[in-house]
Each structure stands twice: as C-alpha cells, then as structure tokens.
Amino acid sequence: MFTERLFRLVSKKRTKGRKDPLLIELFPREKFCNHTTLLRKVEQKECFNLYRVFLCLSDEEMSLVRKSVSIVSDTLDPELVKPLTFERLVEVIMQEVSPLLSQIQDMKRLREVSELVAYECIGLSRFYALATDNMVTEFFCDSKFTPIYLDHMSFGRCETEIFLTERERDAIETHLDTFGGYSLDFRTPSLKHDIEVSGKRLRVSLDLEPLAVYGFSLDVRRLDPSGLRIGQLISMRTLTAEAASFLIAWAELGGNICIVGETGSGKTTLMNAIDRELNPKLRRVYIEDAVETPDLLKEGYHQLKLRVEPYDKARNIRTKEFESVKMLHRSPDMMILSEIQSEEHSKALFSSLESGIRGLQTFHGSSPEQALRRWRLLHGISEIALQDLGLLVQMSRPDRLKPTRLVSRISQVSLQDGEPSLVDIFQISGGKLTRNIAAKIVPPPGKTAEEFYSRVDEKMREFEIDEIRNS
C-alpha cells in the first residue's frame, strides 16, 4: 500500500501546457546568483510587506530542469526509497536527477539545481523555497482559497501571492500521512510531523475537514530557526549583557530556568542561546516530542537527545513523564524538556526538579503570574513544588506583526506565608531591561551568593571582551 501511494505521488504527470513547472516566478540569473537557485525579496508596500520568490536559472538550466522533472517523474522506482523516509525520498530523486544535469559543471550549482528538481518532482518546490529561507521563521495557509503569509525575522508579518495548488496540497497531505506515523482520516483530521528540508528542521501541522472549516489549514514552523547566539541577542537588544550574564551563571551553577511567553515570542530561541553558552562538558539530556534544540555534538558538547510521543498522541509509553522518571539513571548535569505543553509534561518537570535535576524549559503564558496560576489550578502542582522553578524569564513581542522580541522580566519564585510569589530581578523600565538592585536573591541550590555573583562578573567580562573584538 505504501509503495503504491508513494509511486502515485512521485510519478504524477504534470498538467499539459504549463510553461513553468516550478510554480515560482522566473528571474534573470545575475552574478550575485551564481550559487543559488532562488532569490527572495520583500517589497514594502504602503500597508503591508509583500514577500516574493524568484527562480535564478539560465535558459539552459531551465530547459534541463523541465526535462529532468519529466523524466524522473515518469521513471523513478519507489523500491529505491529504502529506508522509507521523506529525507531518503528526496535523496534518491537527487541521485537520479544528477546524471540528467551533467551539463552543469559546477558541483555546488549541480547540487542546488538537483535539490530544486527533487522537490518539484514531489510537488513541493514552493514549500522548499519558503522552508530554506533562513529569515522565514514560520509560514501559514488558512484555506484552499487564500495565499500563504509568513513571519520574517527582519520584516515581521509578510503577505505573499502564493496560492497552493491542488497538487501541492495533495503532496503535503500524502507526505504527512505516509511519513508521519499516523493516518489522516475523518476521525483524525489533524497531523503534526517534523521533517528536514535541505538541513532545515520543520514542524509541519496540517488540519483537514471536518476540523478545518475551510477544508485545509497549514502551519510550518522552523525549529531553532535562527540559531542566534547570546551575543547576537544582546546586539539586537533582546536582553542586556548584564541579564544574559545573570541567566548563564544561574544555569551553569545548577539553577533552573523556565522561559515563559506567548506563541512566537522567542522562548525557544533564548533557551537555545543560553544552552550554547553553558560549559560544553556539562552532560545535557534532552526530552522532546518535537526536536527544537540544535545539534551540539559536532561542536564538542556532551548531548543526549531523546524523542518521545507528542502529548496529544502519547499512549502511556515514551512520554516525557515516563522518561523523566528514568532520568536519575542517566546521570544528567542538566535536563532540557523544551516545551511544557500539558499536565503530563508539568508532572515530568516538577518530578525532576524535586529529584534535584534542573535545566531549561519553556512554557506558554502571558506572564509569570499566569504561568503559576495555570500550574496550580489546571495542572495540580503544589505551592511548595513551585518554588523549585528557580527563575522565570518572560519573553514579549510588543507588536505581533513586527519582528521585535525581548526579555521583559526575570523573576525568582519564592514562598511567602505558604503562597508562591515572585521577586522581580530585572524589569523593563523606560524601554530598557533594568536590574532591581533591592531584590533579595536566593542563589542556585548548594551555591553561595559570593560564588554566584563571581560567576556573573566573569560572564560580564567575557561579553565585554567579545564586544571589543567585534567592534
């Protein structure tokens, strides 16, 4: 059944009479496009930003591409696609396409064109164009009849003129149904799956009828889209060097940090930036249902990653709670649970904290106070357990249509008269994140105040040296 479905997808004939098989506007290839098949532009209109994608191909390359798409779509043998994964499918098509593009002498250019042809063969060339733009953090399509729109790191919300065709919608549905591990049907009209496109990890969420009122809804999010370092976030004024030093020292000395914020506020970006700054020799253990953290093994970090079932699909096995119970046997120096989405995730977090295993995680909420209420009232976490959270960092997005994201507050959780309360250490004041000198801070467990502030000063000096080097 799988092979038949895969074959129907890959070998699907193109509509006759189409001059442009790639569904992207053509653009004359110029010198600056020698090593890219795609050019992206954002045109700032009076009331909105318009995002456009152009093909950067010579006439000769365009002719080769059309011929290659036609041949491979008709001749590809699905039996070659083993193991049966999305990434392997693309790899096999690229291997089949390369001999047909032998007139392209430059090896880098050959690979780029081969990859573009592969995604066109499976009906996802425009999906590929958006997914491989490092500046696009997320893109959306709300129905069959409306164009894609997206969030851009420099321009914020952008509109496009890209309407997904029936072939493209069918391709997305078929790939998620085939490779996602779950079947799309009337009873399960929603599916979420992580795929890798040209080295970029994406979380693809698809809703169909009867859940999607307009019949089709797509949300594609880049996982760890920016890979930004703390120094870059400081330059972007997401947080100050003093606040960054405080957070890094806290985590490195064994304190827990939970980053709170609304969707798209930059929680994961900050978490990953902090993680990169910590001592590479610390043994990090990650438990994630969607892998949003970077691969640090190649950079010399000690990093163990575990993937569990999504919280809405979990069957009491391979859950965050189940794996966190076993965490003591893995001897972590710190644990990264990434996004805390459900009551089960919260139990995993607080069970680990009570066992003395601390680390980094994110949680949806408009404020630290709201996060505490949600844990207490909805997830049944006790008041005493909440003080194990350590620091709560609030991420904010002042204008949801603009790209600015910032740390607006850093607080420590404590108990007063048996009730959880917050001590604000940093707050936005006069448009700047400012330290509250009067705040009484309890250092990370097992550390003295002198040890903690000594580490904060050390990190501050490192940032000052980096700033001098980069100036």
Q: What is the pLDDT of residue 189?
A: 85
Q: Which of 222-226, 255-259, 378-382 has the highest mean pLDDT?
A: 255-259
pLDDT for 252-283, tens place per residue?
999 999 999 998 899 999 999 999 999 999 99
| Predicted local confidence at residue 201, as pLDDT | 85
For the domain spanning 230-470, the CATH number is 3.40.50.300
The C-alpha atoms of residue 433 and residue 237 are separated, in whole angstroms, by 9
148 vs 439, which has greater pLDDT?
A: 148
| 352: exposed, middle or buried (Cβ count in 10 Å: 0-12, 13-18, 19+) | buried
As a whole number of Å, the end-to-end CA separation of the chain is 60
Tens digits of per-residue pLDDT, 430-469?
888 999 988 889 999 999 999 999 999 999 998 887 776 6
The span from the CA of 364 to the CA of 261, in Å, is 5
The model's pTM: 0.80
CATH class of 2-222: alpha beta
Within a 10 A sphere around the Cβ of 134, how many other Cβ atoms? Answer: 12
CA distances to 79, 153, 181, 231 from 42, rounded to whole Å, are 42, 12, 36, 27
* Confidence check: pLDDT of 10 > 90: no
DSSP symbol at 442: P
Across 49-75, average pLDDT? 89
User: Is residue 164 within 8 Å of residue 129, measured between CB atoms?
Assistant: no
DSSP labels, 229-241: -HHHHHHTTSS-H
Domain boundaries, the chain: 2-222, 230-470
Cα separation of 125 and 119, whole Å?
Answer: 5
Tell me the backbone φ, ψ of residue 274, rounded to 5 degrees: -65, -45
Distance CA 321, CA 307 (A): 12
Rounded Cα–Cα distance for residues 156 and 44 (Å): 11
